[in-house]
Structure 1
Amino acid sequence: MPVLLLVMAGAAFACRIAGFVAMRFLPPSARLEAALRATPLAVMAGITALALQAGGLVEALALGSAVVLTLLIRNDIFAAILAIGVAAGLRALGF
Protein backbone atom coordinates (compact mmCIF):
# COMPACT_ATOMS: atom_id res chain seq x y z
CA MET A 1 0.00 0.00 0.00
CA PRO A 2 2.79 2.53 0.69
CA VAL A 3 4.09 1.88 -2.82
CA LEU A 4 0.71 2.84 -4.31
CA LEU A 5 0.65 5.99 -2.23
CA LEU A 6 4.12 6.94 -3.46
CA VAL A 7 3.14 6.24 -7.06
CA MET A 8 -0.01 8.37 -6.76
CA ALA A 9 1.92 11.18 -5.09
CA GLY A 10 4.52 10.98 -7.84
CA ALA A 11 1.80 11.11 -10.50
CA ALA A 12 0.19 14.15 -8.88
CA PHE A 13 3.58 15.87 -8.63
CA ALA A 14 4.40 15.04 -12.27
CA CYS A 15 1.08 16.48 -13.36
CA ARG A 16 1.78 19.70 -11.51
CA ILE A 17 5.28 19.96 -12.92
CA ALA A 18 3.98 19.22 -16.42
CA GLY A 19 1.73 22.26 -16.09
CA PHE A 20 4.66 24.52 -15.29
CA VAL A 21 6.70 23.04 -18.14
CA ALA A 22 3.79 23.48 -20.53
CA MET A 23 3.33 27.09 -19.48
CA ARG A 24 7.03 27.76 -20.06
CA PHE A 25 7.38 26.20 -23.52
CA LEU A 26 3.91 26.21 -25.07
CA PRO A 27 2.07 29.32 -26.17
CA PRO A 28 -0.96 30.01 -23.97
CA SER A 29 -4.27 28.92 -25.46
CA ALA A 30 -7.76 28.09 -24.28
CA ARG A 31 -7.14 24.39 -24.96
CA LEU A 32 -3.96 24.35 -22.85
CA GLU A 33 -5.71 26.17 -20.02
CA ALA A 34 -8.59 23.68 -20.08
CA ALA A 35 -6.14 20.76 -19.98
CA LEU A 36 -4.30 22.23 -17.02
CA ARG A 37 -7.53 22.78 -15.13
CA ALA A 38 -8.67 19.19 -15.77
CA THR A 39 -5.44 17.53 -14.61
CA PRO A 40 -6.09 17.60 -10.83
CA LEU A 41 -9.57 16.18 -11.40
CA ALA A 42 -8.12 13.34 -13.47
CA VAL A 43 -5.63 12.46 -10.73
CA MET A 44 -8.38 12.57 -8.10
CA ALA A 45 -10.56 10.31 -10.26
CA GLY A 46 -7.74 7.78 -10.44
CA ILE A 47 -7.31 7.81 -6.69
CA THR A 48 -11.03 7.42 -6.02
CA ALA A 49 -11.30 4.61 -8.58
CA LEU A 50 -8.68 2.65 -6.66
CA ALA A 51 -10.50 3.30 -3.39
CA LEU A 52 -13.80 2.12 -4.85
CA GLN A 53 -12.22 -0.99 -6.30
CA ALA A 54 -10.63 -1.95 -2.98
CA GLY A 55 -13.46 -0.69 -0.78
CA GLY A 56 -17.11 -1.31 -0.36
CA LEU A 57 -20.26 0.45 0.71
CA VAL A 58 -18.56 2.98 3.00
CA GLU A 59 -16.24 4.16 0.25
CA ALA A 60 -19.07 4.39 -2.26
CA LEU A 61 -21.21 6.42 0.14
CA ALA A 62 -18.30 8.70 1.00
CA LEU A 63 -17.57 9.31 -2.67
CA GLY A 64 -21.23 9.98 -3.37
CA SER A 65 -21.37 12.44 -0.50
CA ALA A 66 -18.22 14.16 -1.83
CA VAL A 67 -19.87 14.62 -5.22
CA VAL A 68 -23.10 15.97 -3.73
CA LEU A 69 -21.26 18.24 -1.29
CA THR A 70 -19.05 19.60 -4.07
CA LEU A 71 -22.14 20.51 -6.07
CA LEU A 72 -23.80 22.10 -3.04
CA ILE A 73 -20.95 24.09 -1.50
CA ARG A 74 -18.76 24.60 -4.60
CA ASN A 75 -15.55 23.85 -2.70
CA ASP A 76 -13.99 20.52 -3.64
CA ILE A 77 -11.36 20.50 -0.88
CA PHE A 78 -13.89 21.17 1.89
CA ALA A 79 -16.26 18.62 0.34
CA ALA A 80 -13.48 16.00 0.36
CA ILE A 81 -12.76 16.73 4.02
CA LEU A 82 -16.44 16.38 4.86
CA ALA A 83 -16.61 13.12 2.88
CA ILE A 84 -13.73 11.77 4.95
CA GLY A 85 -15.85 12.65 7.98
CA VAL A 86 -18.76 10.72 6.45
CA ALA A 87 -16.53 7.67 5.96
CA ALA A 88 -15.19 7.94 9.51
CA GLY A 89 -18.71 8.29 10.89
CA LEU A 90 -19.93 5.26 8.98
CA ARG A 91 -16.96 3.24 10.21
CA ALA A 92 -17.67 4.36 13.77
CA LEU A 93 -21.27 3.15 13.36
CA GLY A 94 -19.97 -0.26 12.36
CA PHE A 95 -20.40 -0.25 8.60
Structure 2
Amino acid sequence: MTLDPATLAAILAMMAATAFTRLSGAFLVRRLKLGAGAEKALANVPPAVLMAVVAPTALATGWPETIGCLVVVAAALRLSLLPAAALGVISVALLRLFGL
Protein backbone atom coordinates (compact mmCIF):
# COMPACT_ATOMS: atom_id res chain seq x y z
CA MET A 1 0.00 0.00 0.00
CA THR A 2 1.31 3.43 -0.89
CA LEU A 3 0.17 6.84 0.21
CA ASP A 4 0.08 9.63 -2.32
CA PRO A 5 1.77 12.81 -1.00
CA ALA A 6 -1.22 14.91 -2.08
CA THR A 7 -3.57 12.63 -0.13
CA LEU A 8 -1.36 12.83 2.94
CA ALA A 9 -1.22 16.62 2.65
CA ALA A 10 -5.01 16.78 2.38
CA ILE A 11 -5.43 14.57 5.45
CA LEU A 12 -2.98 16.67 7.46
CA ALA A 13 -4.66 19.90 6.34
CA MET A 14 -8.07 18.58 7.37
CA MET A 15 -6.62 17.50 10.71
CA ALA A 16 -5.16 20.97 11.29
CA ALA A 17 -8.41 22.69 10.28
CA THR A 18 -10.41 20.46 12.61
CA ALA A 19 -8.05 21.02 15.53
CA PHE A 20 -8.03 24.78 14.93
CA THR A 21 -11.82 24.93 14.77
CA ARG A 22 -12.27 22.91 17.94
CA LEU A 23 -9.64 24.79 19.92
CA SER A 24 -10.78 28.23 18.80
CA GLY A 25 -14.40 27.32 19.56
CA ALA A 26 -13.48 26.14 23.05
CA PHE A 27 -11.46 29.32 23.60
CA LEU A 28 -14.30 31.56 22.45
CA VAL A 29 -16.97 29.79 24.48
CA ARG A 30 -14.92 30.28 27.65
CA ARG A 31 -14.60 34.00 26.91
CA LEU A 32 -18.26 34.64 26.06
CA LYS A 33 -21.16 34.67 28.45
CA LEU A 34 -24.02 32.82 26.79
CA GLY A 35 -27.65 33.29 27.62
CA ALA A 36 -30.03 30.43 28.30
CA GLY A 37 -31.36 30.52 24.75
CA ALA A 38 -27.91 30.31 23.20
CA GLU A 39 -26.91 27.42 25.48
CA LYS A 40 -30.10 25.58 24.55
CA ALA A 41 -29.44 26.18 20.84
CA LEU A 42 -25.83 24.95 21.13
CA ALA A 43 -27.02 21.82 22.93
CA ASN A 44 -29.03 20.94 19.81
CA VAL A 45 -26.07 21.18 17.44
CA PRO A 46 -24.64 17.63 17.91
CA PRO A 47 -27.94 15.84 17.13
CA ALA A 48 -28.46 18.10 14.12
CA VAL A 49 -24.98 17.29 12.81
CA LEU A 50 -25.62 13.58 13.40
CA MET A 51 -28.82 13.75 11.36
CA ALA A 52 -27.06 15.65 8.58
CA VAL A 53 -24.47 12.88 8.37
CA VAL A 54 -26.88 9.96 8.80
CA ALA A 55 -29.76 11.03 6.53
CA PRO A 56 -27.95 10.71 3.15
CA THR A 57 -26.73 7.25 4.13
CA ALA A 58 -30.20 6.17 5.20
CA LEU A 59 -31.78 7.37 1.98
CA ALA A 60 -29.17 6.42 -0.61
CA THR A 61 -27.95 2.95 0.37
CA GLY A 62 -29.30 -0.51 1.12
CA TRP A 63 -31.39 -1.92 3.94
CA PRO A 64 -28.52 -2.66 6.36
CA GLU A 65 -27.44 0.98 6.27
CA THR A 66 -31.01 2.26 6.60
CA ILE A 67 -31.65 0.02 9.60
CA GLY A 68 -28.26 1.03 11.04
CA CYS A 69 -29.23 4.69 10.75
CA LEU A 70 -32.47 3.98 12.61
CA VAL A 71 -30.42 2.28 15.33
CA VAL A 72 -28.22 5.37 15.57
CA VAL A 73 -31.23 7.66 15.90
CA ALA A 74 -32.85 5.48 18.56
CA ALA A 75 -29.59 5.09 20.50
CA ALA A 76 -28.84 8.83 20.30
CA LEU A 77 -32.01 9.50 22.27
CA ARG A 78 -30.44 7.80 25.30
CA LEU A 79 -26.68 7.71 24.71
CA SER A 80 -24.04 10.20 23.69
CA LEU A 81 -23.18 10.41 20.00
CA LEU A 82 -20.09 8.20 19.95
CA PRO A 83 -21.74 5.10 21.49
CA ALA A 84 -24.81 5.69 19.31
CA ALA A 85 -22.66 5.79 16.17
CA ALA A 86 -20.77 2.69 17.32
CA LEU A 87 -24.04 0.79 17.75
CA GLY A 88 -25.06 1.83 14.24
CA VAL A 89 -21.79 0.58 12.77
CA ILE A 90 -22.09 -2.72 14.66
CA SER A 91 -25.67 -3.20 13.51
CA VAL A 92 -24.72 -2.59 9.86
CA ALA A 93 -21.85 -5.05 10.14
CA LEU A 94 -24.10 -7.71 11.67
CA LEU A 95 -26.83 -7.17 9.10
CA ARG A 96 -24.31 -7.48 6.27
CA LEU A 97 -22.82 -10.57 7.91
CA PHE A 98 -26.19 -12.30 8.01
CA GLY A 99 -26.97 -11.30 4.45
CA LEU A 100 -29.74 -8.76 4.76
Do they fold alike, i.e. is TM over 0.5? yes
- Which residue is equivalent to 1:3? none
Q: CA deviation at 1:29?
A: 0.2
1:82 alignment partner in structure 2: 87
Structure 1 position 57, deviation (Å): 1.3
Identity %: 30
Indicate the RMSD between aligned Cα atoms, in angstroms: 2.9
Question: How far off is 1:67 after superposition?
Answer: 2.6
Aligned position for 1:32: 38
Give the conservation status (yes or no) of the 8 Å contact 1:15–1:39: no
Instruction: Check 1:50–1:39 CA distance in 2 against 1; reply closer, same or farther (3 A cut).
Output: same
What letter is aligned with 2:68?
A
**Residue type of the alignment partner of 1:65:** V
Shift of 1:15: 7.7
In the superposition, the TM-score normalised over structure 1's length comes to: 0.64
> 1:48: Cα distance to partner?
0.6
**Count of paired positions:** 85
- Unmatched tracts of structure 1, length 5 or more: 1-5
Paired residue secondary structure (1:28): coil
Q: Tell me which protein shows more helix as a share of its residues.
A: 1
The structure whose Rg is larger is: 2
TM-score (norm 2): 0.62
Cα distance in 1 for partners of 2:57, 2:93 equals 14
Q: In the superposition, relative to structure 1, how do residues 70 and 28 fare at CA in structure 2: closer, same or farther (>3 Å)?
A: closer
Describe the shift of the 1:18–1:53 C-alpha distance in structure 2 as closer, same or farther (beyond 3 A).
Answer: farther
**8 Å Cα contact 1:52-1:60 kept in structure 2:** yes
